[in-house]
Copies of this chain bind each other. A is one copy, B any other.
Amino acid sequence: MKSLTLLEVGKSVVYSESEEPIQKSGHSIVELHASALNHRDIWITKGLYPGIITPIILGSDGVGNLAGKNVIINPGLNWGQNEAAQSNDFEVLGLPQNGTFANKICIEDKYIYSMPDHLSILEAAALPLAGVTAYRVLFSRCKVKSSDRVLITGTGGGVALMAVQLALAFGCEVHVTSGSDLKIEKTLELGVHKGYNYKKEDWYKDVQGQFDVIIDSAGGQSFQHLIKICAPGARIGFYGASLGKYTNLNPQLMFWRQISLLGSTMGSDADFQDMLSFVSTHKIRPIIDEVFDLKDGAKAFAKMEAGEQFGKIVLQH
């Protein structure tokens, strides 16, 4: 079969011939028709992840066919019994286990779900990792209510954009930030209330009113300002920190307003199932930036790395 394989850290993925997966007990072999990229895939090629082994077929998001039915794969393996946190055995599909950038995958049956009916195969491929991450941080961790005012930072990224779509479908008033006016404009078309360009110094001073929920994956120096635009009882959920550590956080503001900072990553099996149900009920369609052929995977990686995408970069197998 064909696959996108990382042969060596620091190099590009290579479209090449791989051995077919071997059928294991309690597993099925899914014929994959589409997959999608996540930042994690890029970081692995650069060696910015613990426990990298090579050669490895990358890819966490996959959609395909099993016994004539369209199926979608939950990429969060071995979460365990505790809804509050993943077990030590937790893995994300695509490292160390071979991933979805291939024609076939052997995957444990409990991670195989029916694909939501209203989606195309390409749309569904854009859903798993971003969908479960956005769902968990918004619903399981921040316990968002439909009456909440929600701010989502860094719109355009896969998880952030999915969080925008989930919160809008739930009935929230949604605001976003981005470093790109174009991305803000595109997000406003989805029904977002207002956008703020974070490249403008003190952008947060333009916020009128306060937020009940803020979803962030940037962190860094400017994270401290998010506290200042929180309503009493606000929850700040975060699933990444591309700008690094939090500094200069004001605890007085936080405890007086009963603010919660809630770390979150991926999601449990229940989160994944609940996310699929929510997406089906609300007929949410993940936003696709561009579709590449699997054989052009290296180009897809280059686009992801450039960071100019709006929505998911999808691979057609």
User: Is A119 interfacial (CB-CB < 8 Å)?
Assistant: no
- The residues in A between 289 and 310 inclusive whose CB is less than 8 angstroms from any CB of B are none
Chain B residues positioned under 8 Å from A244 (CB to CB): 251
Q: Is the CB of A255 within 8 A of B239?
A: yes
Chain A binding surface, main DSSP class: loop
User: Is A101 interfacial (CB-CB < 8 Å)?
Assistant: no
Closest B residue to A234 using CB positions:
B85
Q: Is the CB of B251 within 8 A of A245?
A: yes
Q: Is the CB of B233 within 8 A of A251?
A: no
Chain B residues positioned under 8 Å from A265 (CB to CB): 255-256, 258
Q: Is the CB of B263 within 8 A of A84?
A: no
Contact of A259 among B232, B233, B259, B263 (CB under 8 A): B263
User: Is A203 interfacial (CB-CB < 8 Å)?
Assistant: no
Closest B residue to A259 using CB positions:
B263
- Chain A contributes a number of interface residues (CB within 8 A of B) equal to 35
Q: Is the CB of A245 within 8 A of B241?
A: no
Q: Is the CB of A256 within 8 A of B263?
A: yes
Chain B residues positioned under 8 Å from A259 (CB to CB): 263
Contact of A249 among B84, B246, B255 (CB under 8 A): B246
Closest B residue to A218 using CB positions:
B251
User: Is A254 interfacial (CB-CB < 8 Å)?
Assistant: yes
- The residues in A between 36 and 76 inclusive whose CB is less than 8 angstroms from any CB of B are none
Q: Is the CB of B264 within 8 A of A233?
A: no
Closest B residue to A256 using CB positions:
B265
Chain B residues positioned under 8 Å from A248 (CB to CB): 245-247
- The residues in A between 256 and 285 inclusive whose CB is less than 8 angstroms from any CB of B are 256-265
Given the contacts A84-B233, A85-B232, A255-B241, A262 and B264 also touching, CB distance less than 8 Å: no
CA distance A247 to B248 in the complex (A): 5
Q: Is the CB of A257 within 8 A of B219?
A: no
CB distance from A151 to the nearest CB of B (A): 17
User: Is A180 interfacial (CB-CB < 8 Å)?
Assistant: no
Contact of A86 among B239, B250, B258 (CB under 8 A): B258
- The residues in A between 108 and 127 inclusive whose CB is less than 8 angstroms from any CB of B are none
User: Is A135 interfacial (CB-CB < 8 Å)?
Assistant: no
CB distance from A112 to the nearest CB of B (A): 25
1/0 per position for A217-256, CB-CB distance to B under 8 A? 0010000000000011100001111001111111110111
Complex A-B: 16 CB contacts under 8 Å: A82-B233, A84-B233, A87-B232, A141-B260, A238-B255, A240-B255, A241-B252, A241-B255, A244-B251, A246-B249, A251-B263, A258-B263, A258-B265, A260-B260, A260-B262, A261-B261
